[in-house]
């Protein structure tokens, strides 16, 4: 009888483990499947230049999603990130315009970054304080901040994008870290001097600046979440606020820091937007809000809190960006991008529920 029971349990353990592994890595497999599919069907998809374009286009989304990851793991949500990003882009652009072309970019860009981050920090501080101290649901608080940041951005910009004409600004947001040339070797930050025509076109460009910045931020956020006491407290609060309080974790102040971090990262994304498109716009992050939340969910984070990783968020952002890029290459109506991302979100939730049943 005992041996029969062990045999049955042994037969059950294998599929249980397989399902658990599949539910854990399904996003990686799905991303791989997307790359294979679009590489076969889309001409020019499997190309270094296209992959770098995907990375550059994903950069702003991923930075916002990294901040959203901290919030969602605590069991909250930040609906204001899109318009906080837009407000920060407008604030940064106005400072850059005010300084004008008379100042070097080494002064103009950091000044815009400081002001943009200050605008984001103010919004994040309000979100955190009202959520933690007054115990207002984060959905309501951040929805209200969405309206405030949206209105403030349009008021400051006069309802129009703020164009920044500082020479060289676009080169920062659209340049590359490395340039590799057969004739001139490797140069950093700018193409080799003296190359013209065919030689310049044959120069290989590696790592767009937006992607380089995002990789640095990703590494820092991953370290904070996985290696520091701050990150452990984030998971603890998301797992059980009462248990976190009993463990001596200052939950209220920690939640304030989490919303502050989310808003500051959104502001950095806004300043990066200015360097890429040489303007600031109040609605710059409108379409990215739901995508940033989707990237976190697709990456395996639970909207109930306590689960999620930065690497998972990276995979989620990559899935969204690859879908958008692949559909463009296939010349499919861009409105189908929303449908495709929505289907993937539902799939992610179904996988999460299936995983919960398997673990039970």
Average pLDDT for 19-29? 75
For residue 168, what are its two tokens? Answer: 């060289």
Note whether residue 187 is domain-resident: no
The pLDDT value recorded for residue 271 is 96
Instruction: Kindly indicate the confidence band of residue 32, based on its pLDDT and cuts at 50, 70 and 90.
Output: very high
The pLDDT value recorded for residue 15 is 65
The pLDDT value recorded for residue 4 is 46
Confirm if 162 and 169 have CB atoms less than 8 A apart: no
Nearest to 319 by CA among 298, 335, 347: 298
pLDDT tens for residues 257-274?
999 999 999 999 999 999
Instruction: Kindly indicate the confidence band of residue 246, based on its pLDDT and cuts at 50, 70 and 90.
Output: very high
The pLDDT value recorded for residue 3 is 46
Domain tally, the chain: 1
Is the pLDDT reported for residue 14 higher than 80? no
pLDDT over 90, % of the chain = 63
Is the pLDDT reported for residue 193 higher than 50? yes
Bridge partners, residue 163, by sequence: 279
pTM of the model: 0.91
Note whether residue 18 is domain-resident: no
pLDDT tens for residues 274-310?
999 999 999 999 889 889 999 999 998 888 889 999 9
Note whether residue 29 is domain-resident: no
Average pLDDT for 239-256? 94
The pLDDT value recorded for residue 188 is 79
Confirm if 243 and 101 have CB atoms less than 8 A apart: no
**Cα separation, 74 vs 255, whole angstroms:** 8
- Residue 165's domain comprises 43-174+210-359
Note whether residue 214 is domain-resident: yes
Confirm if 321 and 54 have CB atoms less than 8 A apart: yes
Is the pLDDT reported for residue 359 higher than 60? no
The pLDDT value recorded for residue 1 is 44
Confirm if 306 and 218 have CB atoms less than 8 A apart: no
The pLDDT value recorded for residue 24 is 72
Average pLDDT for 99-105? 84
Least confident residue range of 10-14, 122-126, 356-360: 10-14
Is the pLDDT reported for residue 12 higher than 60? no
Is the pLDDT reported for residue 343 higher than 70? yes
Confirm if 70 and 258 have CB atoms less than 8 A apart: yes
**Cα separation, 244 vs 233, whole angstroms:** 8
Instruction: Kindly indicate the confidence band of residue 19, based on its pLDDT and cuts at 50, 70 and 90.
Output: low
The pLDDT value recorded for residue 7 is 45
**Cα separation, 84 vs 283, whole angstroms:** 9
The pLDDT value recorded for residue 360 is 57
Note whether residue 95 is domain-resident: yes
Q: Which residue has the higher pLDDT, 183 or 258?
A: 258
Note whether residue 271 is domain-resident: yes
**Cα separation, 108 vs 206, whole angstroms:** 26
CATH code of residue 285:
1.10.3470
pLDDT tens for residues 107-155?
999 999 999 999 999 999 999 999 999 999 999 999 999 999 999 999 9
Least confident residue range of 122-136, 148-162, 163-177, 311-325: 163-177
Cα radius of gyration rounded to whole Å, the chain? 23
For residue 263, what are its two tokens? Answer: 């808003």
Note whether residue 111 is domain-resident: yes
- Using the structure block, give the residue that is written with the tokens 């490395």: 178
pLDDT tens for residues 46-93?
988 899 999 999 999 999 999 999 999 999 999 999 999 999 999 999
Instruction: Kindly indicate the confidence band of residue 238, based on its pLDDT and cuts at 50, 70 and 90.
Output: very high
For residue 179, what are its two tokens? Answer: 């340039």
> Quick one: DSSP state of residue 93?
H
Least confident residue range of 22-31, 314-323, 324-333: 22-31
Confirm if 320 and 61 have CB atoms less than 8 A apart: yes
Note whether residue 183 is domain-resident: no
**Cα separation, 124 vs 152, whole angstroms:** 15
Confirm if 181 and 195 have CB atoms less than 8 A apart: yes
């Amino acid at each position: 009888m005992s041996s029969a029971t062990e045999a049955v349990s042994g037969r059950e353990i294998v599929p249980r483990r397989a399902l658990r592994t599949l539910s854990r890595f399904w996003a990686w497999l799905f991303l791989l499947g997307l790359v294979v599919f679009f590489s076969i069907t889309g001409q020019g998809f499997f190309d270094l230049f296209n992959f770098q374009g995907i990375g550059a286009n994903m950069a702003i989304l991923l930075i916002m999603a990294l901040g959203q990851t901290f919030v969602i793991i605590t069991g909250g949500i930040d609906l204001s990130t899109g318009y906080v990003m837009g407000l920060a882009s407008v604030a940064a652009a106005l400072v850059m315009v005010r300084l004008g072309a008379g100042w070097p970019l080494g002064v103009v860009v950091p000044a815009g970054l400081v002001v943009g981050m200050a605008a984001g920090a103010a919004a994040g501080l309000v979100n955190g304080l009202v959520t933690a101290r007054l115990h207002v649901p984060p959905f309501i608080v951040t929805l209200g901040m969405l309206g405030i940041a949206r209105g403030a951005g349009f008021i400051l910009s006069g309802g129009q994008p703020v164009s920044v004409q500082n020479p060289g600004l676009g080169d920062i947001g659209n340049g590359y870290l490395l340039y590799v040339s057969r004739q001139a070797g490797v140069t950093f930050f700018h193409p080799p001097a003296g190359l013209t025509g065919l030689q310049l076109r044959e120069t290989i460009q590696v790592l767009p600046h937006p992607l380089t910045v995002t990789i640095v931020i990703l590494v820092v956020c991953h370290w904070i979440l996985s290696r520091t006491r701050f990150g452990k407290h984030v998971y603890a609060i998301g797992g059980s606020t009462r248990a976190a309080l009993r463990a001596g974790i200052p939950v209220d102040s920690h939640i304030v820091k989490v919303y502050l971090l989310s808003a500051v990262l959104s502001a950095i994304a806004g300043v990066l937007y200015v360097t890429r498109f040489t303007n600031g716009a109040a609605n710059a992050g409108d379409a990215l809000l739901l995508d940033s939340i989707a990237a976190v969910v697709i990456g395996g984070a639970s909207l109930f809190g306590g689960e999620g990783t930065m690497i998972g968020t990276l995979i989620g952002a990559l899935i969204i960006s690859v879908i958008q890029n692949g559909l463009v290459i296939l010349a499919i109506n861009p409105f189908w991008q929303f449908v495709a991302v929505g289907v993937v979100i539902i799939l992610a939730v179904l996988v999460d529920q299936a995983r919960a049943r398997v673990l039970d």
